[in-house]
Amino acid sequence: GQAVTLLTRTADQAGQLRAAGLDFTARDSTRARIAVAAEPLTADPAAGSSALAGLQPAWIFLTVKQHALHDQEFLDGLQARVGPQTRLLCFQNGIGHLEKLAETFPAAKLYAAVTTEGALRTSPGAVTHTGEGVTRIGQAPSTLQTGLISTSLHDSNESAASLNLLIKLLCEAGIKTELSKDIVNEMYQKLLINAVINPITAILRISNGELIRNAYASSLMLRLFDESYAAVAAQVEELPDRMWNRIEEVCARTAVNRSSMLQDVEAKRVTEIEAITGRLIAQGRLKGIPMTASETLYALIKAMESDYNG
Ligand SMILES: NC(=O)C1=CN([C@@H]2O[C@H](COP(=O)(O)OP(=O)(O)OC[C@H]3O[C@@H](n4cnc5c(N)ncnc54)[C@H](OP(=O)(O)O)[C@@H]3O)[C@@H](O)[C@H]2O)C=CC1
Ligand SMILES: CC(C)(CO)C(=O)C(=O)O
């Protein structure tokens, strides 16, 4: 096996996880206590108390929301863990995180993941596997600049070997994982799906399935799709056909789900609207694409966020 350490926000949470294990609920509702190594993500890794404290990992999976990447304490903790051989695998929805990480860690080896697996942290020591899917991973482009992503990838045998090894290990661990030759394109496809589904479900407080059943909601969705599609198509070389049908399929397949943005507004948490709709509006405007439906939905979500304490 491989040594895996959970990096937590606080020392207390890491201590509890080491002492009691992770309470894991599988898809079939069976529960298990899994012994885990855990360390707080502090700027001083040597302060950790397990045998792994202070080691620089081969891979760090970043499974935080986009806005955590703007938290200096988080970045300092990460900085202390990223060694010359460390690879960062980013699971964030939306866009902008790769540019932010490339700017903050210029020497880091960056990879991105697009996943249809679902996971929910139900308490500081418990996680539920909420959806079975596929995780596609690929190397981030070597030329990351704000607003423009070239899809030319690094060509390094060593990087390809580590990626293939990681994919093999994840598959052996039961996490269906595949190599993506153009992960940026896949991130933009996911962005389009999230940009169309998430804000409307969050404002109307409806499930993904209701979105396509409600004629008014689905006509708004279509307007949002047209401009979002144009903005995405201006960024990537080729988009698969039938993206609209794919979005309808996602709604049908996840009909009872409440989107992550809806869950965030219900819990009064900051949403990922900036990394999804906000970024897409900026990119659309740069290309002269009218983004009026997106701008309205963006403003409504921001208004809801600023009213959380009201
Ligand atoms: N969950 C899912 O099924 C999927 C998620 N994604 C994407 O993955 C990303 C994460 O989503 P999600 O799992 O829903 O997010 P959550 O907010 O539920 O989980 C994020 C985790 O990161 C921890 N964290 C946040 N900030 C810090 C910090 N400063 N230091 C240490 N730990 C920190 C949180 O700890 P704490 O609890 O203490 O706040 C929490 O355990 C998002 O971009 C999402 O879009 C993509 C596909 C599926
Ligand atoms: C695909 C979708 C919309 C599923 O709910 C999702 O990724 C999310 O909720 O963020």
Calculate how far, in angstroms, residue 194's C-alpha sits from the geometric centre of ligand 2.
6
- Among residues 41, 56, 53, 50, the alpha carbon closest in space to that of 10 is found at 41
33 phi/psi in degrees, rounded to 5: -100, 120
Mean pLDDT confidence for 82-91: 91
Dist. CA 259 → ligand 1 center (Å): 14
pLDDT tier at 146, thresholds 50, 70, 90:
very low
Domains of the chain and CATH, by start: 5-181 (3.40.50.720), 185-306 (1.10.1040.10)
153 vs 258: which has the higher pLDDT? 258
Give yes or no for residue 224 CB within 6 A of ligand 2. no
Average pLDDT (154-168) is: 81
CA dihedral 14, 16, 22, 23 (to 10 degrees): -140
Tell me the pLDDT band of 207, cut-offs 50, 70 and 90: very high
- 214, 206 Cβ separation under 8 angstroms: yes
Q: Residue 60's closest CA among 46, 43, 80, 44?
A: 80
What is the structure's pLDDT at 271?
A: 97
Which range, 78-92, 129-143, 170-184, has the best average confidence (pLDDT)? 170-184
Q: What is the mean pLDDT of residues 268-288?
A: 97
| Ligand 2 midpoint to CA 203 (Å) | 15
Q: How many CB atoms lie within 10 A of CB 51?
A: 10
3-state SS, residue 266: helix
Confidence of residue 164 (pLDDT cuts 50, 70, 90): very high
- Average pLDDT of every residue of the chain: 91
Q: What is the pLDDT of residue 149?
A: 43
Query: Which residues, in sequence order, are CB contacts of 280 under 8 Å at separation 6+?
Result: 95, 191, 195, 228, 231, 232, 291, 294
Q: Which residue has the tokens 């990223």?
A: 82
Longest dimension (CA), the chain: 57
Mean pLDDT of 259-288: 97
pLDDT at 170 exceeding the cut of 80:
yes
Pocket test for ligand 2, best of 193, 210, 259 (most atoms within 8 A of CB): 259
Q: What are phi and psi of 190, to 5 degrees?
A: -65, -40
